[in-house]
Amino acid sequence: MDQINSLSFIRSPFEKFLAWREQNKFLFLLVTLVLLLIIYPVLEDGFVGDWSLKILTTILLVMAVYAVSDTRKKFIAALILSLVPLITGWLYVLHPVPVLSIVSNGSTMVFFTFVTVTILYSVLVSGRYSLDTVFGGICVYLLIGFTYGTGFYLLHTLSPGAFYPDPVPGSDQLLTFSEFLFYSFSTLTTLGYGNVMPLTSQARTMVLFEAVSGVIYVAVLIAWLVGTVTAESRKK
């Protein structure tokens, strides 16, 4: 009997941790997204930058798979979609062949799109208001920026003249991934610093869609939050 009680004592904190982890699954993804935005631009240059980006991206892929794995089907789909960018990304770091970069960025964009849509659907149809639901909504917004940033970088790789950097004195004028990430969030928030100019029709279309997506998403999310909070307050 004492042994059973001892095991129950050990199992109880572990079960509480599992329950807490399940109730905060979007929090881990949000922290990873924010860390990637903060850390990578600092470590971007040179050999360290390639490895730091890939390590952070790997962690992001793992956290994204976990965030959408509330069902077996979603877990399998997310796992399969994450394997291609994970494998090709590391192969590109070890052997920088252009085709590997194209496949890695393309598959990463597909994976981010899947995760973004899945989390957005989960947030909107959850029918409940919680802090983790808010975290999920923020994750969707950040993932939109990452998705378009990856898409811009992919388009720049396939068509080098699609974007043009605004000349700045003392700048090397190189369009890196962090430059496109910054440009993506500037477009998403309609901030529009104008440090990068889309020149081709494909680039301008992508920029247009991201700007519209940012405005519509904020409007929809706020409307959903207001409706959900109002409904729950009436129930009380």
Question: What CATH number does residue 112 fall under?
Answer: 1.10.287.70
Asked whether the beta carbons of 156 and 175 are under 8 A apart, the reply is: yes
Q: In the chain, how many domains are there?
A: 1
Task: Tell me what pLDDT residue 170 has.
Answer: 47
Task: Tell me what pLDDT residue 188 has.
Answer: 93
Residues 14-62: tens digit of each pLDDT: 455 455 566 678 998 999 999 888 887 777 665 566 677 788 889 999 9
Range(s) of the domain holding residue 101: 2-235
Residues of 88-120 as b/e, b for ≥16 C-beta within 10 angstroms? bbbebbeeeeeebbebbbbbbbebbbbbbebbb
Task: Tell me what pLDDT residue 234 has.
Answer: 64
Task: Tell me what pLDDT residue 229 has.
Answer: 63
What's the sign of the alpha-carbon dihedral 42, 45, 51, 54? positive
| pTM across the whole model | 0.84
Low-confidence ranges of the chain (pLDDT < 50): 1-4, 6-10, 14, 17, 169-170
